[in-house]
Structure 1
């Protein structure tokens, strides 16, 4: 019996599409792998341009949370976009994705964020919080992303209270209460 009971069905293990790393095989992980394949096979990104499973750790009110960013898109040495996966409603995931994009990189705020449930998606401008597009087709392909690079605004990193506010948002939105 597992030390941590879970509501996730575990089918065994699978190999990560991007890295070959062995991962726990769940329905959610299969959808994450589908997203990675889509980014390479349909959107035209190189595997090396997609950084899987970067994370941000927060601790507030004795509540430790590790927020995972499913994919970070890096072109020409610049992180331009993050993708966050979660089952169900996208609107409930927008704010945490924006917070993650604003604090993940220590040198600048990542300008774009995508929230997806594997079937639908929203593309977000992280400086304004506005939705730039709806649907998986709204995720920029490699050519479009490369063309956007000169026009994206890489704002300075958040510091002090603004950074703490984003970290608190991540902590509150990403805490897992269902599996404890």
Structure 2
């Protein structure tokens, strides 16, 4: 299943700006509201559609990450990905993204379809909790991050994670139904 434009716009919950309405955007907006209104995340600590740029065999690619949460020192601490489909099918991709995000790796990541969720321990790659109750509140997240043992990736680890991530993007995110939704190389002509 791929994301397509619905031809309209809607007001982004986090920024207040008008954004394109897509098949998945309402779910992302609901997820942002859940993080802020129910889980206590400061709105200004959440950034939407953060670009993860990576290189494979000399070709540069981008994959937007639905949400990246930052601490008071502007360090990424949590990655949240929305998925359309079985949450379990997206766990490994989510862990890779959390390891590769600029300024990361982050200690924890969440993948959700807004009905189910998997909270991932990024260091081990294991599922820490499942279900929508697995979404940590802000204070719990900060405590989890404080206790986490996060180490930067070596170049070899980064290369392996990038290849795994690209494989998932190509098959699960990018080429799900036709060439029109394939993950293109980053347009080198755009900023």
Q: CA deviation at 1:66?
A: 1.9
Contact 2:51–2:65 at 8 Å: present in 1 too?
yes
CA distance in structure 1 between the partners assigned to 2:86 and 2:61 by the alignment: 21
Query: Kindly tell me: are residues 58 and 147 of structure 1, through their superposed partners in 2, closer, same or farther at Cα, counting changes over 3 Å?
Result: closer
Contact 1:64–1:171 at 8 Å: present in 2 too?
no
CA distance in structure 2 between the partners assigned to 1:53 and 1:91 by the alignment: 21
Q: Does residue 1:131 correspond to 2:117, yes or no?
A: no
Match of 2:77 among 75, 80, 87: 80
Q: Deviations over 1:11-30 (max 9, x none)?
A: 40112110123221123010
Superposition TM-score, scaled by structure 2 size: 0.82
Query: Kindly tell me: are residues 62 and 138 of structure 1, through their superposed partners in 2, closer, same or farther at Cα, counting changes over 3 Å?
Result: same
Aligned match of 2:46: 50
Contact 1:57–1:64 at 8 Å: present in 2 too?
yes
Q: Does residue 1:167 correspond to 2:185, yes or no?
A: no
Q: Deviations over 1:62-107 (max 9, x none)?
A: 875422111111123232210011101111111111111111133x
Aligned match of 1:67: 63
Give the alignment's Cα RMSD to 1 decimal: 2.0
Q: CA deviation at 1:37?
A: 0.5
Match of 1:103 among 97, 100, 104: 100
Contact 2:3–2:23 at 8 Å: present in 1 too?
no
Aligned match of 1:118: 114
Contact 2:99–2:105 at 8 Å: present in 1 too?
yes
Q: CA deviation at 1:55?
A: 1.6
What are the ranges of 5 or more consecutive residues in structure 2 without an aligned counterpart?
A: 181-191
Match of 2:91 among 94, 98, 101: 94
Q: CA deviation at 1:146?
A: 2.4
Superposition TM-score, scaled by structure 1 size: 0.87
Query: Kindly tell me: are residues 15 and 168 of structure 1, through their superposed partners in 2, closer, same or farther at Cα, counting changes over 3 Å?
Result: same
CA distance in structure 1 between the partners assigned to 2:59 and 2:25 by the alignment: 25
CA distance in structure 1 between the partners assigned to 2:54 and 2:102 by the alignment: 15
Q: CA deviation at 1:59?
A: 4.0
Q: CA deviation at 1:129?
A: 0.7
Contact 2:3–2:22 at 8 Å: present in 1 too?
no
Q: What SS does structure 2 have at the residue aligned with 1:149?
A: helix
Q: What SS does structure 2 have at the residue aligned with 1:154?
A: coil
What are the ranges of 5 or more consecutive residues in structure 1 without an aligned counterpart?
A: 1-5
